[in-house]
Amino acid sequence: MFMRVGTHLSQVDDNHISNLDLSFRDPVSPNWYFFTGIGFNGGNAEIGVQQGNYIGSDTSTQSIILRCRKANTGYVLCSGINDQGSSAVTIANNRIGGIELVVQNSNNAGLLVL
């Protein structure tokens, strides 16, 4: 889920992102985002303040499986919640877990961040 909101307060509450099995191959660009549960890029927001969001599971494993074929030397970023410059953001009461990252063809140098 990726959002860019305005100056009025936006609330993001009680979302459940789970039961995913995603496969990606890295593009020509060596640096890229592979997975973001909740992403923001500008605006005034509260994420999980009234009621928490769930990304994956806090009670089971493999709720989200991310399969990445890594063939270059750049980085791949995986994040539960990513704020890329919101003017005002409050992040609280969220649960992130049960995420498995599977790297295929990892004999090339590179950085994977979860």
pLDDT tens per residue, range 27-85: 666 667 778 999 988 889 999 999 999 999 989 889 999 888 776 666 777 888 988 87
Question: Does residue 52 fall inside a structural domain?
Answer: yes
Q: Give the pLDDT confidence of 2-11 residue by residue, as tens digits.
A: 888 888 899 9
Residue 9 lies inside a defined structural domain of this protein:
yes
Q: For residue 21, is it within any domain?
A: yes
CA angle 57, 16, 26 (to 5 degrees): 75
The answer as to whether 113 is a domain residue is: no
- Report yes or no on 112 lying in a domain: no
In a domain, 109, yes or no: no
Is residue 110 situated within a structural domain? no
The whole-angstrom separation of Cα 33 and Cα 28 is 13
Residue span of the structural domain in which 49 resides: 2-104
How many structural domains is the chain composed of?
A: 1
Q: Which residues contact 71 (CB under 8 A, 6 or more apart)?
A: 25, 26, 105, 108
Domain assignment present for 111: no
Q: Are 23 and 65 in contact (CB under 8 A)?
A: no
Q: Which residues of 51-65 are buried (b: 16+ CB within 10 A; e: fewer)?
A: ebbbbbbeeeeebbb
pTM of the model: 0.81
